[in-house]
Structure 1
Amino acid sequence: MSNSVADSKQPKSTWRHRLVSFLIAVTLLLSAVGLLLAIWYQYGIGSIVTWLSTIVIVSLLGALLSTRYWRAVTKILYRHKPTDNTVIHKATANKWLIGLYGVIWFVGVGWFFSIEPKQDRDWMAEVDQQVTYKRDATNPNLITLTNVRNFDWHTDTEATAHWDTRTIDLSKLSGIDVTNSYWMGPLIAHTLVSFRFEDDRPLAFSFEIRKEDGESFSALAGFFRRYELSLIAAEERDIIYTRSNARGEQVYLFPISNLQQHEVRSLFESYLTAIDELNNQPAWYNTLTSNCTNIIFYMARIISGDRLPWDYRIWVSGWLPNYLYDVGMLDAAPEQPDQPWSMDTWYERTHINPKSLGFDNLHSTGNSRAFSQKIRQDIPLPPLAHSQSGAEAKAKSTAQASDQTSLNE
């Protein structure tokens, strides 16, 4: 009877208690998985460090889980109802195990954030060189870039390397094109930015992972400081051709509307700043926060401000063109005011794979110009805006027209 009375006095578990216990268990599990993945991607699955870490962390979590059933275990061991002492032992064991796990986890987090990116690894040929630049002493508009990539791609992995030197005139900037290359379904795309010039071929920039020789990309590994960040300046016949022709990705080129030249120039200067920063101090690529799309957005928003509002599609790179369409950065009626384009029309007209099919991609300046012209066939290129008020008003009306077109579909 005394045991029955004692049991009746035990506090009964409520749904709140169960919910808190569940959340604690999920937090412990996710924190352990995150730490183990970081160790795995840094040391490799066959490393003794990986195996020892896995054994220690899994053992601790197993011990913590066993305390959840402490009363049942002690009942089996001692063949009677657990006493107050066993309850005290359970609480003490819980504290020690949680404390030990917390120490190990915080040490692991400290180790993870202490991992520094490097410049001196055995890089793949396509990211082996880093672009640099120099301003003309007498004319600051003239920028000479070295290590502009201009490879001859024969297959998706084989190419003849060419690193060129090219001088461009910032006063001749005439527009920006955003290229989306779809390589993993409709949600994920690689984003590039091309700057157009009057009487000269475009120049493309691309933020990419700096792969080591023999290394391949993993979106999951990109969360765990596995890849350094690289900024490539390249001819379009290299960096776009390799995606549309050599790799068979589906590539679309979108000309950005309602920009003034000073905005285009400011974005180009942002790329020059990024070149300086990466050459002075390497940085990590991150699948979520520092990837090929949102870095561009961060730079562009500094220039354009509220004209580029925050949106979830900044992190869903495959939908970036739809975002540009909705905010008025793609002209809703690029040919005739009374004939607006839907987003489907934009995708159809800007799909460059059929245009680049069979292109003879030989290394020459003339061929670079020809490729850039070919992929822009049937794509109206918008002129630069003359004033900020005019650009903002046109972008607003374009966004409204885009909304109306979407409603009518």
Structure 2
Amino acid sequence: MARKKSKFIQALKYAMAALAGLVAGVWIFLELQTPDMAGPWQPQLSRTAFAESGKDYIHLHNVRDFTYHADRTPDRIQYFDRTYYLDDLKRIWYGISHFGPMGLAHNFLSFEFEGGEYLSLSVETRLHPGQHYGAFRGMMRQFNKIYVWGTEQDIIGQRTHVRGENVMLYPVTLTDPGEMREYFLKVIAETNDLHNKPAFYNTLFDSCLTNLIKNTAIRNYTHAIDFRVLLPGRADRLAYTIGLIPNDMSLQDGRKRAGIKPEGLLLDDSYSVKIRCGWSGYGGLDLPPCTESH
């Protein structure tokens, strides 16, 4: 009996050593990888945004404003450059686009400026033509990361109108102008860093969600295996818990208000106002109520 136990322990030691060697080999392999700087890239990911900053403004280059065919390929390919004044930053909006079960979703932000102008930020994988995203490959340093700045008709509209995803949009409760400007400038700085030096996307630790929350108080309320972060579709529960989205109502009621109903919506100048109609009358938000068409 003692001899069998000794053989089992010895075999277990060999197995643990082999596993440790495998883990070390994978780690070394990943560390030796470098981000791909060469194209070509898919058209909607072909340009990286970057900004020039002044005392009270940023001038953002390569703001995307595409439209898409039903098969998700670009129809109109259009970029523009625009100046955004920091004092005009009015509100930040947080969005979740559910594309699968079990918390599979994409997270994004929109910055609202005075005069009814909106600028969206989406952190994505930068793909080559014919390349497709995979969650496991996203953990193995197979994709570059890209900060896409664009119009809401592009960033949100392709998800509501083309992909048919369940999209929700929440007002962020951060209202201090200085704190909003500080956050905006941080993500602009990260955009410039990524424009100058490519980096990898990581499904778990460097994703659409982790890049948006690393400069916020959310980081103080999470841990490495927090499923509210690992599964971005559950992130609104975390934001609700710490009060970054409205929590003076039930989360279920908030989700109903945040839900975007694409029926009757056109991807025109009225789009940004209409996708927020669920928040009409809340917290002093000057928004028209939803109509029966949506």
Q: Same fold (TM over 0.5)?
A: yes
Identity of aligned residues (%): 24
Compute the displacement of 1:266 (Å): 1.1
Count of paired positions: 280
For the aligned residue pairs, the C-alpha RMSD in angstroms reads 2.5
Q: Would you say the 8 A contact 1:257–1:383 is kept in 2?
A: no
Distance 2:19 2:232 in 1: 30
SS of residue matched to 1:115:
coil
Aligned match for 1:12, one of 3, 23, 29: 3
Deviation sequence 1:342-399 (CA, Å, 0-9, x none): 11111111110x2x324332xxxxx34x111010002156579xxxxxxxxxxxxxxx
The structural deviation recorded for 1:154 is 2.6
Deviation string, structure 1 residues 195-220 (Cα, Å, up to 9, x no partner): 11122311111110001111011001
Q: Which has the larger radius of gyration?
A: 1
Deviation for aligned residue 1:248: 0.6
Match of 2:182 among 261, 266, 278: 266
Q: As a proportion of its length, which structure holds more helix?
A: 1
Number of the residue aligned with 2:258:
350
Residue 294 of structure 1: SS of its match in structure 2? helix
Give the structure-2-normalised TM-score.
0.86
- 1:100-157 per-residue CA deviation (whole Å, 9 max, x = no partner) reads xxxxx64x64343222112222100001001121234xxx222211110000123222
Distance in 2 of aligned mates of 1:180 and 1:213: 26
**Greater RCO (Cα-Cα under 8 Å, separation 6 or more):** 2
One-letter amino acid of the counterpart of residue 349, structure 1: R
* Aligned position for 2:273: 373
1:126 aligns with 2:38: no
Residue type of the alignment partner of 2:89:
L
State the alpha-carbon separation in 1 of the partners of residues 17 and 259 from structure 2. 44
Q: Give the letter aligned to residue 13 of structure 1.
A: K
Distance across 1 between alignment mates of 2:111 and 2:243: 19
The equivalent of 2:75 in structure 1 is: 159
After superposition, the C-alpha distances for 1:137-192 in whole angstroms (9 at most, x for unaligned) are xxx22221111000012322232111011211111111111100011214121000
Aligned mates of 2:74, 2:120 — CA distance in 1: 21
TM-superposed deviation, 1:259:
3.6
Deviates more, 1:343-352 or 1:153-162: 153-162
Q: Scaled by the length of structure 1, what TM-score is found? A: 0.63
Cα distance between partner residues in 1 of 2:10 and 2:176: 54
Any stretches of 5+ residues in structure 1 without a counterpart?
1-9, 35-104, 334-340, 362-366, 385-409
Question: Structure 1 residue 309 and structure 2 residue 215: aligned?
Answer: no
Say if 1:211 and 1:228, in contact at 8 Å, map to a contact too: yes
Q: Larger deviation: 245-254 or 341-350?
A: 341-350
**Whole-Å Cα distance in 1 between the matches of residues 283 and 109 of structure 2?**
16
Aligned-partner SS, 2:141: coil
Of the candidates 330, 351, 367, which is equivalent to residue 245 of structure 2? 330
1:213 paired residue number:
129
- Alpha-carbon distance, 1:275 to partner: 1.3
Tell me the distance in 2 between the aligned counterparts of 1:254 and 1:11: 64
Whether 1:224 aligns to 2:215 is no
- How far is 1:298 from its partner? 1.0
Higher strand share: 2
- Residues 265, 274 of structure 2: 8 Å contact kept: no
Would you say the 8 A contact 2:65–2:77 is kept in 1? Answer: yes
Instruction: Assess, with a 3 A threshold, how the Cα gap between structure 1 residues 287 and 20 changes in structure 2: closer, same or farther.
Output: farther
